[in-house]
Amino acid sequence: MSKTAKIDTSVKIGYNAIIEENVVIKKGTIIGNNVIIKEDSIIGENCTISDNSIIGKSPLKAKNSATTETQTFSPITLGNNVIVGACCILYKGTKISNDVFIGDLASIREDVEIGENTIIGKGATIENKSRIGKYVKIETEAYITAISTIEDYCFIAPGVTFTNDQFLGRTEKRKTLFKGPIIKKGARIGANATILPGKIIGEDALVGAGSVVTKNLKPKKIYVGVPAKEIRNVPNEELLENQKFFHP
């Protein structure tokens, strides 16, 4: 434990934890066994960091990486009441708001923002430069590609895949055109659906399981199939505005 770390006296720290220079850990937080908290990381009140997780990791860049940048990132910040499961990796430059839950084995890359009361499921991956709103649910092993946007109250089912490279790794031109999907407020995406680069899914739209989204989708419509096609309106009782948990 670094002498320059600022750790509240109420913090509980497990065996073999490593806490580096200038880390801040606020009151009531629990740090599990074998956790590594990298330099300058800031962890709020009443958080739980479970065994074997890494907070504030610096990104590594392969020789031919297309979206990973070599730069200095700001420290990672976790708000209050954040729960991080076991064996998670959270990178520098990321901001996690209050009351976020991150399941075991999740990976959250650099320069990501996650809004309050959002759930990131077990084994989910959130790539760099992505923005995720509040009250979002991203389920087990979903893949959110770099430069994606998910607005408030969205639901992303298990195994959903976002993509951002329409050239599939070919041509230099692609490097200026990377763009992940944009999922508007209240939209829902069923299990194992695939969303192609830059596609916009309208507010309160519903994408059926296994669908492939190849075009922008209208608000409040249901789409299914390969490619996804409109079949009917979202039922009124399922609209976000009619849910008890919705806070406009």
Question: By C-alpha distance, which of 2, 57, 4, 51 is closest to 30?
Answer: 51
Residue type at 175 in one-letter notation: K
Number of domains in the chain: 1
Say if 17 falls within a structural domain.
Answer: yes
What whole-number distance in Å separates Cα of residue 143 and Cα of residue 145?
Answer: 6
Give the range of the structural domain holding residue 161, as residue numbers without chain letter.
Answer: 6-59+73-242
| pTM score above 0.75 | yes
Torsion angle in degrees (nearest 10) through CA of 91, 40, 10, 48 = 0
For residue range 100-130, list pLDDT tens digits in order: 999 999 999 999 999 999 999 999 999 999 9
C-alpha–C-alpha distance, residues 143 and 212, integer Å: 14
Domain containing residue 206: CATH number: 2.160.10.10
Encode pLDDT of 162-196 as tens digits.
999 988 888 888 878 889 999 999 999 999 999 99
The residue type of 101 is: F
Instruction: Please indicate, yes or no, if residue 68 is contained in any of the structural domains.
Output: no
